[in-house]
Amino acid sequence: MKFFVDTADLAEIRDMAGAGMVDGVTTNPSLIAKSGRPLLEAIADICALVDGPVSAEVTATDHDTMLAEGRRLAAIAPNVAVKVPLTVDGLRTCRALADEGRVVNVTLCFTPQQALLAARAGAGFISPFVGRLDDLGLDGIGLVRDICEIYRAYDGIRTEVLAASVRGPLHIVEAARCGAHAATVPPQILRQLYRHPLTDAGLEAFLADWRKTGQSILDLADAAD
């Protein structure tokens, strides 16, 4: 499974990319607004930090303006994935951009039938919103499972399932078990993936035993040289 960090914070992206934890980045108008930076400048800087896809979302709701915005966003860098909402105009825009060779992330997916339409429209990614369905007492992971199962039934579908709106590590594990190609994850949840109290306790025990020896690996290496 690929991990896309869901933020427009350059410091967070740089930190996680340096640790090899990031395959791409997803943004939306809310995250860009939170960063306090001009949208085009923010996307350009993010694209320079990662090699993988960087989702940049249109803000228009009609097809003509969406298409113009999508083309402008795609021109920022080769790794921009234009993000459009799962509406009729969004699907039309997806089809047009895909026909031009652009990568499109169709977002705000809440049903398998919507995901089918996005695949038919040539989406590079479909973003089912897991947490928002769970918030309503519905089955967000079940949606991911249904989409993955449907997509696997057709060799011609190349759309990747990008689990979105995840609320914690278990959402990511369950999405991976379903066969989702990627998950987009806020930085604080991404960090939870490697943290565990038993890891911390085990490390401290090893280090305590080593300190008792009074040795240093670097000093021993220098002495050997």
Catalytic residue set: 83
Gyration radius (Cα) of the chain, Å: 21
Q: Which long-range contacts (CB under 8 A, 24 or more apart) does 85-88 make?
A: 85/61, 86/110, 86/114, 86/117, 86/118, 87/61
CA atoms of 171 and 176, how far apart (whole Å):
9
Residue type, 219: D
Handedness of CA 65, 70, 73, 74 (dihedral sign): negative
Q: Residue 164 gets which letter from DSSP?
A: B
Q: Are 32 and 42 in contact (CB under 8 A)?
A: yes
Specify burial of residue 216 (Cβ count, 10 A radius: 0-12, 13-18, 19+).
exposed
Residue of 178, 177, 184 whose CA lies nearest to 151: 178
Q: Residue 43 gets which letter from DSSP?
A: H
